[in-house]
Amino acid sequence: MTRQLSDEVCNAARSEALRFLASRPDLGPADIAQWTTLAESTVRSFLRGTIPGGREVVAEIERVITQIKAGDILQPGGAQQAIVFLEKGQRRERRVMRRDTFFETETARRIWDVLDYAAEHCAIGCITANFGTGKTEAVKEWRRRTAGKVESIVFEFDEFSCRSIVDFVRALSEKLGIDCAPGFLNGGTIFRGLCDRLRQQPVLIILDQTEMVRQRVCSCIRQIWDRTADAGVGIVMLAAPILLARLSNGKMADLGALSSRIGVWAPLAGLSKEEFASIVKQEGITDVDPEALDLWWHATGGSMRRLLRAIDLLKAKHAGKRVTEKTVASVAGFLWGMQITATRAA
């Protein structure tokens, strides 16, 4: 029987679909299938690679994912009134702009869009992307560029503040220079004092590592915004994709109340292959096999942190030598403990 599409075309479509779904853990084959002419089992089998896929399968899945990216269907949190910022589709990237050690990627630009929107409209924004994609560094660069124009603070959750609402409001108050009464029985007083200060001196609150927070802390975040948004306070949450799944599928009232107030979402996938290749070239690594570049991009999973660590290792131990699939497999095993084969389809 003659194949309708080549393995290269099918594998590329499958890879792009899986990369997108990794940034949207709230979606699965059943969600994709309901907007296609395909059975759920067909979508699931194609994504698993157990069937090759034909013209209709590939076209239907690509059509639905394009609609999701455009915000026409299946928006995060089910809130159709919210704005969704995504990375733009694949395009030729001549050069990724760089400042010192910071690269201005599409992911960084989308993060800046959310921060600008939340600051201007006093909204809650939710940015989700895997670890190492550059969320924290993008925020640092945005704050550098908006210094003196937009008042903002960054609060990073830890094992204590993500579990205790009293520890959270106390630590956030200290960030704003508020003297807090000692003891864990004064949480209400601290909370109201925090809200009063924010109403007097509104800022954009940027919460990092929000995927760690418990339900009661989510409720506290929502209550802070409810009491201060009309005075000019916005909130942006940075998190791993699991937060998107929790907010979208959570059955608890605390999560639903926060999710319903989010005005802008940005589920991001990290570095595109074009940006990846541009950065590698700018870093002086030009002798790379095409197959090795593809394997390297898949191994990093869109992570800027993984890419830069690999580049540092190659510069130190492999300078001036050709980068092959075997080289990439060795780097992945040494840096990340990954066992990958030296031959991989696109």
- 70 and 111 both lie in a single domain: no
- pLDDT bin (cut points 50, 70, 90) of residue 251 is low
Average pLDDT over residues 317-324: 84
Average pLDDT, the chain: 85
- Reduced to 3 states, what is the DSSP secondary structure of residue 332? helix
- Percent of the chain exceeding pLDDT 90 equals 33
Structure tokens at 5: 């599409």
pLDDT of res. 285: 86
pLDDT of res. 227: 96
Q: Which residue has the tokens 């929502």?
A: 222
Q: What is the CATH number of the domain that holds 156?
A: 3.40.50.300
- Percent of the chain exceeding pLDDT 70 equals 88
pLDDT of res. 82: 64
pLDDT of res. 90: 46
Domain with 181, as residue range(s), is 83-267
Structure tokens at 200: 């007097």
- 20 and 89 both lie in a single domain: no
Q: What is the pLDDT of residues 55-101, one digit of tens each?
A: 889 889 988 888 887 767 777 765 555 677 766 654 444 566 666 67
Cα first-last separation, the chain: 23
- pLDDT bin (cut points 50, 70, 90) of residue 333 is confident
Q: Is residue 344 part of a domain?
A: no
What does the alpha-carbon distance between residue 5 and residue 52 come to, in Å, rounded to a whole number?
9
- 131 and 193 both lie in a single domain: yes
- 248 and 282 both lie in a single domain: no
Task: Answer whether 263's CB lies under 8 Å from 82's CB.
Answer: yes
pLDDT of res. 344: 45
In the chain, the number of structural domains is: 3
pLDDT of res. 87: 65
Q: What is the pLDDT of residues 136-195, one digit of tens each?
A: 999 999 999 999 999 999 999 999 999 999 999 999 999 999 988 777 778 889 999 999
- 263 and 117 both lie in a single domain: yes
pLDDT of res. 206: 97
pLDDT of res. 81: 58
pLDDT higher than threshold 50 for residue 222: yes
Of residues 124, 128, 134, the one with CA closest to residue 241: 128
Structure tokens at 277: 């290749």
- Reduced to 3 states, what is the DSSP secondary structure of residue 161? coil
229 versus 314: which is more confidently predicted? 229
pLDDT higher than threshold 90 for residue 320: no
198 versus 340: which is more confidently predicted? 198
pLDDT of res. 1: 40
pLDDT of res. 236: 97
Could you say which of 74, 97, 132 is where a domain stops? 74
Task: Answer whether 342's CB lies under 8 Å from 326's CB.
Answer: yes
Least confident of 90-104, 206-220, 221-235: 90-104
Query: Which residue blocks in the chain are alpha helix, DSSP H?
Result: 7-23, 29-33, 40-48, 55-70, 106-121, 135-145, 165-175, 187-200, 215-228, 242-249, 253-259, 273-282, 290-300, 304-317, 325-336
- 155 and 214 both lie in a single domain: yes
pLDDT of res. 338: 72
- 229 and 315 both lie in a single domain: no
- 155 and 293 both lie in a single domain: no
Q: Is residue 324 part of a domain?
A: yes
pLDDT of res. 237: 96
- 232 and 88 both lie in a single domain: yes
pLDDT of res. 151: 95
Q: What is the pLDDT of residues 256-314, one digit of tens each?
A: 888 889 999 888 888 888 888 889 888 888 888 888 888 888 888 888 888 888 888 88
Q: pTM of the entire structure?
A: 0.77
- pLDDT bin (cut points 50, 70, 90) of residue 111 is very high
- 117 and 260 both lie in a single domain: yes
Q: Which residue has the tokens 């159709």?
A: 80
Q: What is the CATH number of the domain that holds 290?
A: 1.10.8.60
pLDDT higher than threshold 50 for residue 346: no
pLDDT of res. 143: 95
Average pLDDT over residues 126-132: 90
pLDDT higher than threshold 90 for residue 22: no
